[in-house]
Amino acid sequence: MSDRVKYDAVIVGSGPNGLAAAVTLARAGRSVLVLEGKETIGGGMRTLELTLPGYRHDVCSAVHPLGIASPFFRDLPLHEHGLSWIFPELPLAHLLDDRAVALHQSLERTAEGLGQDGKAYRRLFAPFVGDWQALLDEFLGPLGVPRQPLLMARFGRQAIESATRLARRTFDTPAARALFAGLAAHITLPLESPTTAATGLMLGMLAHAIGWPFARGGSQSIATALASYLDSLGGEIKTGAWVHSMRDIPPARAVLFDVTPRQLLDITGDELPSGYRNRLRGYRYGQGVFKIDWALSEPVPWRAAAARRAGTLHIGGTLDEIAAGERAIGDGKLPDPPFILFSQPSLFDRSRVPDNNSAAQTAWAYCHVPRGSTADMTTAIENRIERHAPGFRDCILARHTIDAVEYETYNPNYIGGDINGGMQDWRQLFTRPVARLDPYSTPNPRLFLCSSSTPPGGGVHGMCGYHAARSALRRALR
Ligand SMILES: Cc1cc2nc3c(=O)[nH]c(=O)nc-3n(C[C@H](O)[C@H](O)[C@H](O)COP(=O)(O)OP(=O)(O)OC[C@H]3O[C@@H](n4cnc5c(N)ncnc54)[C@H](O)[C@@H]3O)c2cc1C
């Protein structure tokens, strides 16, 4: 076969992990081809005019603490390829009925705003914020013996807890408890589950250490910068190239799949041994999401001043309310009311709206729903926003909605609307897709998995792709 081989590696899928794998291999001098099924690249990083001409919306990811902090992205000259980050004045505001809790990038200012819980908040986050880079390198680095065992032990002692337990034993006030619950709820699991505190700690730490930026021009700019850098290294990308079976892949020494286990099973057929296939069949997917994008005639008229200055808002009420909603989803029910993750990028990045309209805005919001739900959450989401921003509905020029099932149609990696490539509970966080010393490799020495269905899981950070490429370089591409 070797004289037919044109590429060292073919990568199936151009999400952040597929592109990260391709860049890593091209930097190591290997020839690479990325096959993307859709007509445009980017996976969860696309930005499109979903509503009206000139209004540019992030179809999936929008807020990038993991992107800016990613040890892999940090090592690439992406700014030379057009990527710049925009930092909102406040990374986050959490809305309660009677007030907004402001999460400033400054840990001190945030703690001051939390009154009697300020000291506890400072004590919780300060050690991690001070050492954020080492901690993140541990989490996003290769699996193995911790390089910073004491720091990891300190983090791990708290991270292993459920978010509800950590919030209740650390804080006394509803405001601090709710703030932590909102951070932790990004994991899309019942907040009583072990290790859900880890997400709250990680996202809070990153907000204070580095911020929660947007990519100027939309998340598509991250994909475009990665592709431009790949091009400068000689890598190739082909779009409109769905891979249904191994026959769709040109001969290559290695194939890396930016897909989830279910698609890997379909595509590879009996190229993988039956024992491994059976284990892949046991892979568990997480819950889904329902999302709305709006074109707005003016900024959202939030009652709370902090909400008007924040890039991201958590609209979910108290710890108990958020926990009840996430628990309901775990039981297959719709959350009532839903916990809403909201972002308003155009307040800080005017490239998202038409030039000739100085008031125009875009806004993005999603909530968790049971996997495979076709429920329309528009009214529930807009009612909740209207309560905090009377007059919001009058600002809506157009909206675009997408339910959990439509998300899977949009991107086959979002099984039933699961945006993390599989459930991220304690049993599956480090054993994705199966428990294996090198989870990126498969029993077939040519085939690798590089998607968020491998550690460290969901998010735009490229680390799954980077580690998978390193695995391929140690094995098939030695
Ligand atoms: C609503 C929403 C909000 C989110 N918010 C954030 C956020 O704010 N911050 C953040 O960090 N993350 C966020 N995420 C998660 C993030 O987008 C994903 O975790 C990330 O994109 C996963 O990257 P990936 O490379 O593993 O896969 P994907 O980004 O899903 O890319 C996979 C690519 O492979 C292609 N593909 C799949 N199958 C095939 C095939 N058979 N043949 C050819 N091509 C194929 C797909 O078309 C897609 O382009 C969000 C996601 C969603 C949906």
What is the residue-wise DSSP string for 398-416? EEEEE-HHHHHHH-TTSGG
- Whether 421 is in the pocket of ligand 1, judged by its Cβ within 6 Å, is yes
| Rounded Cα distance, 303 and 44, in Å | 32
| Rounded Cα distance, 434 and 453, in Å | 10
The atom number, within ligand 1, closest to the CA of 414 reads 30
- Whether 218 is in the pocket of ligand 1, judged by its Cβ within 6 Å, is no
The rounded Å distance from CA 413 to ligand 1 centre is 7
- Whether 62 is in the pocket of ligand 1, judged by its Cβ within 6 Å, is yes
pLDDT tens-place string over residues 280-316: 999 999 999 999 999 999 999 999 999 999 999 999 8
| Rounded Cα distance, 88 and 215, in Å | 11
pLDDT band at 356 (very low <50, low <70, confident <90, very high): confident
- Whether 38 is in the pocket of ligand 1, judged by its Cβ within 6 Å, is yes
Q: What angle do CA 147, 151, 155 make, to 5 degrees?
A: 120
- Whether 257 is in the pocket of ligand 1, judged by its Cβ within 6 Å, is no
Only one residue has tokens 């890997």, namely 264
- Whether 363 is in the pocket of ligand 1, judged by its Cβ within 6 Å, is no
User: Cβ contacts of residue 475 below 8 Å, gap of 6+?
Assistant: 254, 441, 445
pLDDT, mean of residues 246-255: 97
The rounded Å distance from CA 452 to ligand 1 centre is 8
Structure confidence at residue 151 (pLDDT): 86
Specify which residues 192 forms β-bridges with. Answer: none
pLDDT band at 1 (very low <50, low <70, confident <90, very high): very low
pLDDT band at 426 (very low <50, low <70, confident <90, very high): confident
Decide if pLDDT at 96 tops 90.
Answer: yes
User: Cβ contacts of residue 284 below 8 Å, gap of 6+?
Assistant: 422, 423, 425, 428
The rounded Å distance from CA 387 to ligand 1 centre is 32
* Residue of minimum CA distance from atom 34 in ligand 1: 13
The rounded Å distance from CA 176 to ligand 1 centre is 32
The atom number, within ligand 1, closest to the CA of 291 reads 1
- Whether 12 is in the pocket of ligand 1, judged by its Cβ within 6 Å, is yes
The atom number, within ligand 1, closest to the CA of 453 reads 26
The atom number, within ligand 1, closest to the CA of 19 reads 25
Count of residues making up the chain: 478
The rounded Å distance from CA 259 to ligand 1 centre is 9
| Rounded Cα distance, 19 and 412, in Å | 17
Residue of 457, 54, 55, 40 lying closest to 224 (CA atoms) = 40
Decide if pLDDT at 2 tops 70.
Answer: no
